[in-house]
Amino acid sequence: MGALPVEKHKRIKIFYYLKSVWMLILPKALYRRHLNKLLSQPIAKSNEVQTRVNYYNKLANKFDVNEKFVAIRNFKRKGYKSAYFFDTLEYVRYFNASYKFVPLFGDITYVPEVPSLLKSRPLVEGNENSVLFNLNKFRHFHFINDKLRYADKIDKVVWRGHVSKLKTSRINFLEQYSENPRCDVGYTNNWKEGNPRWKKGWMSIADQLNYKFILCLEGVDVATNLKWAMSSNSVAVSTKPNYETWFMEGKLKPDYHYIEIADDFSNLEEKLDYYLKHPKQVEKIISNAHEYIGQFTDKKREKIISLLVLDKYFSLSNSNSD
């Protein structure tokens, strides 16, 4: 499916930043001349692409801009996290410099008052102002190529991650399962208020792939590891998502793309028992997850979808003077 190789360590980010700096050097006029050519390609008009564009950008009516909006020509690095800034610049540079938008960066768990570009949004009715964009993708959009068969993995669930007072679901899980023999779970950050018995050493992705079940716990917003877990030959275990990103977590089907457990985690062992006894069902879930991942691995298509999301946004904005 065109996934990346398994990584034993964190990826080297220098190449990402070298590419990003190059974007600042090249004249934006070069990109603007190519926009119509890119958006006129047959793939841009396909039902699959149009469905995703309208899922990310649910806006249907014209909207006014105000002081919260920034013109593309005034969109500068200062004041924004580098990854979010460069991931946005990669695509807004294709559009008229006078067009205005709202960049809302970070872990967003609310619906903004005005149409905004953001990484995450709550899965609630009336979230049209939350226009999803693939932001901080170096960290979040990470797929792997797992060489180990599901049948050859350890019959346990694994999880490593950060815990804080803002990540209450993770605290609740560790309270219940940190010492459960069927779980290899723990937090890895230096959290002063944390129970020291819950803390465990950092574990690489390659080491986590030795386990049949990979727990994907939401933090402030989505579970960061859900994407690479679903691209592995292990099976992702998660509660029903409350938030979503470019990955469209809201479209995932429980016990079809991942194993869903109760919000209070009370049926975790029951679910483990069931799926350990039904390995063919697990293999099917893993296959479905791989098929879902496949829609994100075509770089050309992802680029066109990103541009179309912006094109729809700017076409509805009264900052569009074309």
> What is the tens place of the pLDDT at every residue in 1-32?
444 344 443 555 655 555 656 565 555 666 67
* 192 lies in some domain: yes
Residue 37 shares a structural domain with residue 154: no
* 7 lies in some domain: no
Q: Buried (b) or exposed (e) across 32-44, using 16+ Cβ within 10 A? A: eeebeebeeeeeb
Q: Tell me the residue length of the chain.
A: 322
pLDDT at position 20 = 54
Residue 120 shares a structural domain with residue 200: no
Residue 242 shares a structural domain with residue 306: no
Residue 238 shares a structural domain with residue 250: yes
Residue 87 shares a structural domain with residue 157: no
Mean pLDDT in residue range 109-126: 97
Higher pLDDT, 286 or 77: 286
Structural domain tally of the chain?
Answer: 2
Residue 135 shares a structural domain with residue 235: no
Residue 163 shares a structural domain with residue 127: no
Residue 106 shares a structural domain with residue 199: no
Q: Structural domain of residue 122, as residue ranges? A: 14-141+298-316
Residue 73 shares a structural domain with residue 159: no
* 199 lies in some domain: yes
* 93 lies in some domain: yes
Residue corresponding to tokens 């149409």: 115
pLDDT at position 18 = 56
Judge whether residue 298 has pLDDT over 50.
Answer: yes
pTM greater than the 0.85 cutoff: yes
Residue 252 shares a structural domain with residue 214: yes
Q: What is the pLDDT of residues 159-209, one digit of tens each?
A: 999 998 888 999 999 999 999 999 999 999 998 888 899 999 999 999 999
From 113, 86, 121, 59, select the one nearest 309 (Cα to Cα). 59
* 3 lies in some domain: no
